[in-house]
Structure 1
Amino acid sequence: MSGSFGTAHSEERLAARQELERLTKKYNFLEPDRGNLDDPKIKWRFTKPDYTQANLEYMKGKTKNHPAGSLELVVENLVKRWEMEASHFKDLDQWTTINKERYRAQANGGKDFSAEEVYKIGNYNWLMAGCKKELYDAEKEDFESSHRHFRGAFPAGFPWEVLEVFSGPPTVAFSWRHWAHYTGQYMGSQGAGELLELYGFGVVELDENTKLVSVNIYYKPDQFVEALKGDITPEQMSKGKALVGSGCPFVKSTPTSV
């Protein structure tokens, strides 16, 4: 769920911005809302992120086009903003998406992580905490190393979308899809540009101020790592999509604007 990142040089960012504007106009797309990243009061963990390339990959590969004001889009933007804060804010006190005192995060019914623990280890490590240690040992990784591994695998970004929302606030249940073209390297394994698709389910609890109290994510991390290592095919990794619903990329399957 983490990883709507991307790296690009200035010329590539300009080309990506132009393509974003074309897709926005042609398909009535909306760019993800991650808040005001130009707010001078923000203290960045490293440098201010640029989501231009990541947003383009999201638009090119998404299977849904949730309309403005829909619960699906509200949930999708909340998760994207939460991920941005977790990945890039320097101080936990800056996070606007969580109830810091009550916040808990859990993957696949495993260990409960507090806000302070999540801030320290990063989203990847709590999400991968239940992975077989021979595949990925989250206890031996830190914030920086985990992000380095996965950003190295997906240099153009690792987009994420909500597929369907099954219940509204305060308990929000939804299915989701993560995808990327594996063009980089992961722990010595080189990708060949194959499309990796990761499907799962999420349940989040919101307080009276629409802040996250708990995040519970369900998916198969072992298959994800096995695909990165080349031990299974992309098709084997994404076989769980039948459980949560899927579709072809929106841009490719919709020849006219919506």
Structure 2
Amino acid sequence: MKMPETLPDFLTDPNAVLKDSVDWRHGQVPDYSAANAKYASERTVLHSQDSLEQRVTCLVKNWEKEVSFKQHLKDFRTMAPGWWVTVNGGRKFTLPDVLEQGSYNALIGEQAFFCSSKLGFEESHRTFRRAMPTGFAWEVLDVWSGPPKVAFKWRHWGKMTGQLHCPLSNGMTIIAQPTMEQHGMSGCALARLDADFRMESLELYFDQQQPMASMVSDLVRLFDSFELAESLPGVS
């Protein structure tokens, strides 16, 4: 797919969709100043403004803002009708699925210290905002192919300066205290784009336990001392 001279703004500006006049969640345009500052100061690679890597960066950052804060299907610009996402070849989640459950619930799923079935959209997002109040940043590391099939490697990280509330499958919620350290995850993705550079699908590959594992390492050691550990999948 050849890049045209004029590109949609969501490929050239990572904050393009924040300028949209829509019915935002919480009644206002979301504030990404903390995450943007963290990205600018801590990213590991610096892509040139006209590079394919920067185009993919802008696309995914705008997509994340839309699925996290837009409420109505008509307002989405980075995804084509019928868009879907999978993680590690699992269930296909449609946009209505993600809007109902929340992107964290859909992408992380049922884990030992993150029981997505016990969390609604807002609480699942609050889980990470509470634990990482200084921002949960995201960057593209490498891009291996261009449109229409874009394969790339990414990194997602933040500093745990707040408490992490962990919902368990047995209905309990335990709290991990701040580690004051950086935590995160990395993975690969394949995005299929249409002629208007909107995502038709997004296939993600990463360790779904990784987002919580390092933040709850002290809790894992604690639970290893009790029989309850045997009832928690993924704890070893």
What TM-score do the two structures reach when normalised by structure 1? 0.73
Conservation of the 8 A alpha-carbon contact between 1:32 and 1:55: no
User: Are 2:37 and 1:37 aligned?
Assistant: no
Structure with the higher fraction of residues in strand conformation: 2
Q: Distance in 2 between matches of 1:88 and 1:176?
A: 22
User: Are 2:185 and 1:198 aligned?
Assistant: yes
Matched AA of 1:183:
T
User: Are 2:84 and 1:104 aligned?
Assistant: yes
Distance 1:232 1:137, change over 3 A: closer
Matched AA of 1:34:
N
Conservation of the 8 A alpha-carbon contact between 2:179 and 2:215: no
SS at match of 1:33: coil
Correspondent of 1:177 among 146, 155, 162: 155
RMSD of aligned residue pairs (Cα, Å): 1.8
Q: Distance in 1 between matches of 2:99 and 2:78?
A: 13
Matched AA of 2:147:
P
Q: Distance in 1 between matches of 2:125 and 2:202?
A: 20
Structure possessing the higher relative contact order (Cα contacts under 8 Å, 6 or more residues apart): 1
Q: Distance in 1 between matches of 2:108 and 2:178?
A: 20
Match of 2:6 in 1: none
Q: Distance in 1 between matches of 2:13 and 2:177?
A: 30
User: Are 2:140 and 1:162 aligned?
Assistant: yes
Match of 2:71 in 1: 90
Match of 1:137 in 2: 115
List gaps (5 residues or longer) in structure 1.
1-30, 234-258
Q: Distance in 2 between matches of 1:207 and 1:84?
A: 20
Match of 1:70 in 2: 51
Q: Distance in 2 between matches of 1:36 and 1:197?
A: 25
Number of residue pairs matched by the alignment: 199
User: Are 2:136 and 1:149 aligned?
Assistant: no
Alpha-carbon distance, 1:153 to partner: 0.8
Alpha-carbon distance, 1:96 to partner: 0.4
What TM-score do the two structures reach when normalised by structure 2? 0.79
Match of 2:201 in 1: 214
Alpha-carbon distance, 1:227 to partner: 1.4
